[in-house]
Amino acid sequence: MDGRLLPLSTFRSPQMKRLSYIYLILPFILFLFGWVRLTIAIPLALILLFTLWQLLKQPSTTHYSPFTIHWSPSTVYWLLLTTFWLLLSGIGGYAFQNWDHNWRNVVLRDLMNFDWPVYYAQPESGPVKMLVYYVGFWLPSALIAKFTNWQVANFALFIWSLLGLLLVTHYLANFFKTSNLKAALLLILFSGLDILGTLFFLQDYPT
């Protein structure tokens, strides 16, 4: 296969499906060991890992590898476009972040700095107040951050978000029988009416 361009249909492959399984299961396993008693977490984690292994070892009908063959221009544009779009979103702190990012950054910071499960009050000082949210999105990045620093945590969050975005656009392309690039464009152009609010209240946004 040397010298051949990678067709877009190659990305509709068991490899992408396997990656999706790992992407979905990893945060749940981290949640089990961070929030659930070990007597419950260990059996559930073993069941999940066994199920994951059974899914991953299913035979593949294609032998393409994204690391050993050339990618088509459309695939490269898809990767570049989704990466640039994510950069502009503010995830990772590489571009402007609107007010909604402030408390989301706090969630990542607390998951990084405090033991799991995260709580903010001791029983002896009154009702225990815990961090209750769909924290799975941040758990892989927060785990990495516990051994590194805030900058690495944000980079890991960006990569994790990019992986999720690529998977979503890939499956959207499968559903509509189109290319990954067109699926990414569909997501980007799906909304946009918020630009009217921005134009009316331009003074509230940075230039």
Higher pLDDT, 2 or 59: 59
25 in a domain, yes or no? yes
Please compute the mean of the pLDDT values over residues 152-180 and round it to a whole number: 93
Q: What is the mean pLDDT of residues 147-161?
A: 96
Q: Is the pTM of this model over 0.85?
A: no
82, 85, 62: which is closest to 12 by C-alpha? 62
**Count of structural domains within the chain:** 1
- The predicted structure's pLDDT at residue 13: 64
> How much of the chain, in percent, has pLDDT values that exceed 90?
53
By the 10 Å C-beta count (0-12 exposed, 13-18 middle, 19+ buried), 153 is classed as buried
Around Cβ 66, how many Cβ atoms within 10 Å?
Answer: 14
Query: How much is the pLDDT for 203?
Result: 66
C-alpha count within 13 angstroms, C-beta hemisphere, residue 172: 17
Would you call the peptide bond into 127 cis, given omega within 30 degrees of 0 as the criterion? no
Structural domain of 187: 6-204
Please give the Cα distance from 58 to 127 (Å, whole number): 49
Least confident of 7-21, 33-47, 66-80, 173-187: 7-21
Is 1 part of a structural domain of the chain? no
